[in-house]
Structure 1
Amino acid sequence: MTTTGQTCNLSDRTCVPCSGGIPALTADEANAHMGELSSEWTLNAGSTELSRHFAFKGFAKATYLANLCAWLADQQGHHPDISFGWGYVDVRLTTHEIGGLNENDFIWAAKLDQLTG
């Protein structure tokens, strides 16, 4: 997306509430957004879920990242599935209302990339 000749990064945008009624991104659209994310994000086979695994040495850093994810979710009004434990955090994104991915999922992922870069 461009505005006045400059590229608008996903991380510069804000999630917009989704209440359904719109189509999920196609596999091609989802793959096009992957180029703006860390290479550690993966799409599932149906391009309906975006996920990333973080590994740590210990529990504290995993807890800090899980809390950061919760804070970012609250700020953006977007609700990823987050699981964590000793040495790991797993983040999964999908827009449940539409049964697949929405641009908001990629915006949220890009913002997390920016915060953890």
Structure 2
Amino acid sequence: MTDLIRKTCEVCRIGAPLATQAEIDEFMPQLQGWELVEIDGIKRLQKTFKFNNFANALSFTNKIGALCEQEGHHPAILTEWGRVTVTWWSHKIKGLHVNDFVMAAKTDALL
């Protein structure tokens, strides 16, 4: 995971390449607990983080928000009592980009 954390997001434009299967195979083992999911035909990375209460879940959500603003890449975040579900994908290319793996690793590092 250390390699992913050290990377920064590159600007993702329409037409940027999707992550290759080789990249997915390389990066997934570095991400503990993240799942590949497909929603509306779009591959995404998703993980649910558990907390003891809503305040801790909200605090984590706010940390993710600050990271997103710094990196210029934003996920879907569902904050509930005791848990936060984070879903990464690149909207412009309708799928996974290397940025999504970088941000998943950085999300884990916030804990």
Task: Tell me if TM exceeds 0.5.
Answer: yes
1:106 aligns with 2:109: no
- Post-superposition Cα deviations, 1:28-73, rounded to whole Å, max 9, x if no partner, equal 42132112212x1111157710000011121110001110110110
Alignment check: 8 A CA contact 1:27 1:47 kept: no
**Percentage identity across aligned positions?**
40
Alignment check: 8 A CA contact 2:42 2:94 kept: no
1:94: which partner in 2? 89
> What SS does the corresponding residue of 2:56 show, helix, strand or coil?
helix
Distance of 1:84 and 1:76 partners within structure 2 = 21
> What SS does the corresponding residue of 2:30 show, helix, strand or coil?
coil
Q: Which amino acid aligns with 1:35?
A: P
**What displacement does 1:85 show?**
1.5
Q: 4+ residue stretches of structure 1 with deviation over 4 A?
A: none
1:68: which partner in 2? 63
1:15 aligns with 2:9: yes
Report the structure number with the largest CA radius of gyration.
1
Gaps of 5+ in 1: 1-7
CA RMSD of aligned residues (A): 1.7
Q: Which amino acid aligns with 2:17?
A: P
Give TM-score, length-normalised by structure 2. 0.88
Distance of 2:66 and 2:3 partners within structure 1 = 21
1:35: which partner in 2? 29
